[in-house]
């Protein structure tokens, strides 16, 4: 199984730049991150530090978020956020640059919360333009923009796979961009009441990425009731051949116990 460790939610006991090496020490060769900086356009020194941490750890960066705003404060993306359009556009170049230097091809663009002062239609129109710009920006390095349904954010409008797929279809129709795909986070989809089995049957071959956590609790696989192994296996059968992102909450000492058991059973 080809797993990639989300170092923005796992190994958080460590400073961010030490987490890639910790993932490597735990037996993984790939990592992904939410946006690891406080601003859309960090300093050259900050970017270099981040890239060096990845390279020195000897891991592959497989995924990176565009800046999503203040995530701990409740923000969930800039894509549809009227008033921050230029900031998002500036972020595209930084994201593409990091991707180019580290060989990363998958970039998650969180859609953004609804704003009371604007209509959903106004925000959706901006989102379609911003996603098209993002797709164009990463196309030059062979990159793909990912769009994700999210749970636990009351004002986030994309709750089901269908919600995200409708946006993707709009962007493709209006801009011609083809490098935008669904990020299927099985945890978020399940929590939001989506029919995960049906989503897999109908769309697995077109998934841009899969992420997993168990429910309840968003913990490690095996701590809840979701049939994650079955869902992953079926997605593989239907043509998904990418990484499986580990995006769950678990203390460092037990973060990967399930994977160690899995490897032991395989032997």
Residue 262: the pLDDT is: 74
Domain residue limits, the chain:
3-266
Per the document, the length of the chain is 267
Q: How many Cα atoms occupy the beta-carbon half-sphere of 63 within 13 Å?
A: 27
What residues pair up with 201 in beta bridges, in sequence order? none
Question: Active-site residue among 13, 49, 51, 247?
Answer: 247
State how far the Cα of 102 lies from the Cα of 19, in Å rounded to an integer.
Answer: 16
Looking at the domain that runs over 3-266, which CATH code has it been given? Answer: 3.20.20.150
Give one DSSP letter per residue of 51-114, joined into a string: HHHHHHHT-EEEEEEPP-S-TTTT---STT-TT-HHHHHHHHHHHHHHHHHHT--EEE------
The whole-angstrom separation of Cα 248 and Cα 7 is 10
Concerning whether 117 is annotated as a catalytic residue, the answer is: no
H/E stretch holding 191 reads helix 186-191
Distance of CA 108 to the CA centre of its chain: 5
Could you list the pLDDT tens digit for every one of the 267 residues in the chain? 599 999 999 999 999 999 999 999 999 999 999 999 999 999 999 999 999 999 999 999 999 999 999 999 999 999 999 999 999 999 999 999 999 999 999 999 999 999 999 999 999 999 999 999 999 999 999 999 999 999 999 999 999 999 999 999 999 999 999 999 999 999 999 999 999 999 999 999 999 999 999 999 999 999 999 999 999 999 999 999 999 999 999 999 999 999 877 765 664
Which of 207, 192, 194, 201 minimizes the C-alpha distance to 241?
207
- DSSP character at residue 192: T
CA distance 177 to 173: 8
pLDDT in the model for residue 264? 59
Which 8-state DSSP code applies to residue 126?
A: H
User: What pLDDT shows up at residue 1?
Assistant: 58
What span, in angstroms and rounded, lies between the C-alpha atoms of 191 and 219? Answer: 13
Is 148 part of the annotated catalytic residue set? Answer: yes
Q: Which of 49, 148, 201, 250 is catalytic?
A: 148
pLDDT for position 260: 79
């Amino acid at each position: 199984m080809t797993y990639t460790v989300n170092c923005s939610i796992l190994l958080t006991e460590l400073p961010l730049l030490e987490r890639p090496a910790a993932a490597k020490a735990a037996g993984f060769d790939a990592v992904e991150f939410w946006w690891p900086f406080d601003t859309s356009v960090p300093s050259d020194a900050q970017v270099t530090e981040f890239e060096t941490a990845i390279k020195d750890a000897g891991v592959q960066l497989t995924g990176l978020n565009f800046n999503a705003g203040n995530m701990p404060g409740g923000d969930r993306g800039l894509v549809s956020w009227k008033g921050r359009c230029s900031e998002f556009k500036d972020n595209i170049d930084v994201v593409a640059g990091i991707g180019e230097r580290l060989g990363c091809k998958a970039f998650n663009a969180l859609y953004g919360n609804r704003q009371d002062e604007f209509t959903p239609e106004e925000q959706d129109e901006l989102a379609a333009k911003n996603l098209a710009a993002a797709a164009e920006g990463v196309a030059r390095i062979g990159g793909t923009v990912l769009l994700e349904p999210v749970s636990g954010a009351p004002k986030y409008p994309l709750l089901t796979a269908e919600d995200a797929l409708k946006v993707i279809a709009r962007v493709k129709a209006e801009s011609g961009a083809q490098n935008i795909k669904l990020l299927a986070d099985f945890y978020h989809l399940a929590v939001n009441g989506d029919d995960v089995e049906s989503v897999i049957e109908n769309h697995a071959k077109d998934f841009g990425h899969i992420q997993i956590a168990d429910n309840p609790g968003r913990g490690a696989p095996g701590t809840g009731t979701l049939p994650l192994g079955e869902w992953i296996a079926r997605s593989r059968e239907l043509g998904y051949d990418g990484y499986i992102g580990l995006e769950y909450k678990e203390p460092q000492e037990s973060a990967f116990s399930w994977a160690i058991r899995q490897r032991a059973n395989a032997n």
